[in-house]
Structure 1
Amino acid sequence: MKNASIVTIRKELEELNREDLLELCLRLGKFKKDNKALMTYLLFEAHHEDSYIASVKETLDELFDSMNTDSYFYMKKTIRKILRQLRTYARYSNHKSTEVELLLYFCERLNTLKPSIHRNRTLNNLYERQCLAISKKIETLHEDLQYDYQLQLNALGETSL
């Protein structure tokens, strides 16, 4: 089966009535967990971006607090899992500032981990790549936001030393 293009899907959706659209949306929500999460964001949290960011940060806190820090091996696996989940949450929002804010928070939490991630080459490289990605994303934002986020990123760089 070949997937239709977005343009074709849009034209077909415009021809459907309200009840059929509602049924399609509910079926999409039942089909996959990611679809359901995206629909939840769009319906309930897209209008309140600050509360969405706060709830994601709370979820990240729970994941970091439950992390097994006995070994760097376990830490690496969990940190990658957290980063994967963070990227999914950031993808739901179309605001670039949301992604920057969540990545900055992620890096802040990485800096506070004990034992320090900077003693492990793999984790330190992951941290450095995230800082580099943040700086690239900051450049695409409005000047006022660039300044604020750049200050936070510089503060992260100073605490990692």
Structure 2
Amino acid sequence: MKAASVKEIRDELKIYTPEQLQELCLRLARFKKENKELLTYLLFEAGDEQAYIHGVQEEIDAGFAAINFRSIYLVKKSLRKILRDTNKYIRYSAVKTTEIDLLIYFCRKVRTSKIPLSKSLVLRNLYARQVAKIEKLLAKMHEDIQFDYEDDITFLKA
């Protein structure tokens, strides 16, 4: 089965009634956890972006609290999971400042926790990629916004 393009889906959705659209959304939400999470964001959290950022930051904190420091392998695996979840929440929002805020928060947590970046090339590269991603996003933003995040970038690079 070949998936339809977004334009084809948009055109097809125009012929449905609101009740039919509601049923389609509920049916879609039943199949994947990510679909349900995206609908939750769109319906309940999109109106208050700051509260959404705060909620994701709490989840990042919980992920860092659960890191097993017995071996670098387990630390690396935990960090990748936290970053994967963070990127998923960033995709839901699609607001660039939210993306920057969450990535900076993740990098700050890596820097302030007792994760041994110097002992693992993989961990150093993971951290460096996120800092580079933040810089790339900031380069596309307005000068005033870049200035607001200047101190954060300085901290992350030190």
Q: TM-score range by the shorter chain?
A: over 0.9
> Residue 35 and residue 115 in structure 1: after superposition, are their counterparts in 2 closer, same or farther (change >3 A)?
closer
Structure 2 residue 39 is the aligned partner of structure 1 residue 28 = no
**Amino acid of the structure 1 residue aligned with 2:16:** L
Correspondence for 1:112: 112
The alignment of Structure 1 onto Structure 2 pairs a total of residues equal to 158
Deviation for aligned residue 1:113: 2.2
Deviation for aligned residue 1:119: 2.8
Q: What is the rounded CA distance, in whole Å, between the counterparts of 1:97 and 1:82 in structure 2?
A: 19
DSSP 3-state at the match of 2:3: coil
- 1:68 and 1:74 in contact (8 A); partners too: yes
Deviation for aligned residue 1:142: 2.0
Deviation for aligned residue 1:115: 4.2
Q: What is the rounded CA distance, in whole Å, between the counterparts of 2:36 and 2:119 in structure 1?
A: 39
- 1:29 and 1:39 in contact (8 A); partners too: yes
Q: What is the rounded CA distance, in whole Å, between the counterparts of 2:36 and 2:118 in structure 1?
A: 37
Q: What stretches of structure 2 of length at least 5 have no aligned partner?
A: none
> Residue 115 and residue 102 in structure 1: after superposition, are their counterparts in 2 closer, same or farther (change >3 A)?
closer
Q: What is the rounded CA distance, in whole Å, between the counterparts of 1:142 and 1:94 in structure 2?
A: 17
Q: What is the rounded CA distance, in whole Å, between the counterparts of 2:126 and 2:115 in structure 1?
A: 16
Normalised by the length of structure 2, the TM-score is 0.96
DSSP 3-state at the match of 2:86: helix
Deviation for aligned residue 1:148: 1.3
Correspondence for 1:40: 40
Deviation for aligned residue 1:94: 1.7
Give identity over the alignment, percent.
Answer: 47
DSSP 3-state at the match of 1:15: coil
Correspondence for 1:17: 17
**Amino acid of the structure 2 residue aligned with 1:157:** K
Correspondence for 1:79: 79
Structure 2 residue 101 is the aligned partner of structure 1 residue 101 = yes
Correspondence for 1:70: 70
Normalised by the length of structure 1, the TM-score is 0.94
DSSP 3-state at the match of 1:70: coil
Correspondence for 2:130: 130
**Amino acid of the structure 2 residue aligned with 1:90:** I
Correspondence for 2:2: 2
Q: What is the rounded CA distance, in whole Å, between the counterparts of 1:25 and 1:115 in structure 2?
A: 42
- 1:138 and 1:150 in contact (8 A); partners too: no
Q: What is the rounded CA distance, in whole Å, between the counterparts of 2:118 and 2:106 in structure 1?
A: 15
Q: What is the rounded CA distance, in whole Å, between the counterparts of 1:115 and 1:19 in structure 2?
A: 51
**Amino acid of the structure 1 residue aligned with 2:36:** K
Correspondence for 2:49: 49
Q: What stretches of structure 1 of length at least 5 have no aligned partner?
A: none
Q: What is the rounded CA distance, in whole Å, between the counterparts of 2:118 and 2:40 in structure 1?
A: 37
